[in-house]
Amino acid sequence: MSRIVHVVGTGTIGEPLIGLLCHYKDKLGIDEVTFNKRTPLYTDRSKVKNLLERGAYLSTSPEAMSGFEKLGMQPSFETRGAIERSAVVIDCTPSGAGLANKEEYYKSATSVKGFVAQGSEFGFGKMYARGINDEALIPEEDRFLHVVSCNTHNLAAIIKTMALGNGTMPDNLISADFVCMRRANDVSQDAGFAPSPRVGRHKDEKFGTHHARDAYHLFRTLNLEYGGLFSSAVKLNSQYMHTLRFRLKVKEPTTMEQLLTRVKENDRLARTYKKSSNQVFSFGRDHGFFGRILNQTVIPHEALSIVDGTDITGFCFTPQDGNSLLSSVASSCWLLDPDTYEEKLQVLKPWFFEEV
Ligand SMILES: NC(=O)c1ccc[n+]([C@@H]2O[C@H](COP(=O)([O-])OP(=O)(O)OC[C@H]3O[C@@H](n4cnc5c(N)ncnc54)[C@H](OP(=O)(O)O)[C@@H]3O)[C@@H](O)[C@H]2O)c1
């Protein structure tokens, strides 16, 4: 079977993902990268042409074929055919569309090894975040994977590193409270900018927002149950990246030195002396892969506080969409070959920074 990876959607997540897969195709053990775009638009032509030049192939619906051709973009496949000839499909469509695509296309495509959906698609499949629950993935059994949202990655990384001692103290967490300070929209987006901070509703009765709920379910895949998670969200009038404020209550007293050692031991976390998200974002722009660093989170360690040894408070920055991209690549490589994916992912190591 050809090792074809197909990406559905060319938006904020899809576009950089297609580029990254094309760039590292050979080293990741991928034969071909294809992608689906629904709408032929002059405004998107430059990005489609660039992705074609980088070696990817375009698919679209039968109805949209001539529209793309008229604008000088040549599709190679139609939507369903492109899915069915793939080894792995990564769905990068917005809220609800991934679940609908699962019903319409994915469930019947039985020769495809597996499907990956993004943050908004609660219920799509087993939740996954690279470095958090890799051991929960079951070869041959798990065909539908749900990469959790970028902020959920961040919550889970903070819990696992700081409260669970990088997984060595699974019973150590008592409770965790988070405030997700979200950037209004991505630098690639026109819509959705917020003129001032805008608070979100606590729609989930137990967990507040979906971030803590999803982190709860993510740890459940490891048979760990942390009922004391709670999150709130506020949109800020910034475009740079999300900032997270956390407060963890743990059983075993800890010191700042121990905490910083745990952060250092986890190479997916970065430390920083910088205090603002624009400084961290700017580092990514200059030193990341096409502007992105792939760390799970960046911790301004001078802003950490420990009270009575057991109350840990601090802030961290979610590096744009880097963690979702990493987990999307990792889960795809795992679906292609669970025995070699760890080794293949090492090609992305230059984009993990110990210090930002
Ligand atoms: N934005 C972020 O920073 C971020 C970070 C982490 C996770 N996520 C998650 O990633 C997912 C995608 O978000 P996004 O921000 O990348 O969205 P986006 O920028 O709005 O892009 C969505 C893309 O999906 C396509 N699309 C929409 N409906 C579709 C459908 N029914 N079938 C096929 N294609 C469809 C659109 O294609 P056309 O142009 O062809 O219409 C567009 O290219 C969401 O689950 C989100 O929660 C986003």
Residue 142 CB neighbours (<10 A): 18
Pocket-testing residue among 90, 118, 293, ligand 1, by greatest number of atoms within 8 A of Cβ? 118
- Topology match between the domains 4-148+323-351 and 151-321: no
User: What does DSSP assign to residue 355?
Assistant: B
| Cα dihedral 79, 84, 87, 91 in deg (nearest 10) | 40
**Closest atom, ligand 1, to C-alpha of 41:** 39
DSSP secondary structure letter of residue 346: G
List Cβ neighbours of 214 (8 Å cut-off, separation of 6 or more): 119, 122, 127, 148, 149, 152
Selection from 209, 193, 212 nearest residue 201 by Cα: 209
Instruction: Provide CATH code, domain 151-321.
Output: 3.30.360.10
CB of 186 within 6 A of ligand 1: the answer is yes
Instruction: Indicate whether residue 8 lines ligand 1 (CB < 6 A).
Output: yes
Q: Which of 20, 43, 93, 277 to mutate to test ligand 1, by most ligand atoms within 8 A of the CB atom?
A: 93
Residue 14 beta carbon below 6 angstroms from any ligand 1 atom? yes
The structure's pTM equals 0.96
Q: What is the pLDDT along the chain (356 residues), one digit of tens a residue?
A: 799 999 999 999 999 999 999 999 999 999 999 999 999 999 999 999 999 999 999 999 999 999 999 999 999 999 999 999 999 999 999 999 999 999 999 999 999 999 999 999 999 999 999 999 999 999 999 999 999 999 999 999 999 999 999 999 999 999 999 999 999 999 889 999 999 999 999 999 999 999 999 999 999 999 999 999 999 999 999 999 899 999 999 999 999 999 999 999 998 999 999 999 999 999 999 999 999 999 999 999 999 999 999 999 999 999 879 999 999 999 999 999 999 999 999 999 999 999 99
Ligand 1 atom at shortest distance from the alpha carbon of 12: 16
Angle (CA) 178 126 185, round 5°: 45
Topology given in CATH for the domain delimited by 4-148+323-351? Rossmann fold (3.40.50)
The structural domains of the chain, with segments of one domain joined by +, span: 4-148+323-351, 151-321
Q: Is 321 in the pocket of ligand 1 (CB under 6 A)?
A: yes
Q: Are 45 and 74 in contact (CB under 8 A)?
A: no
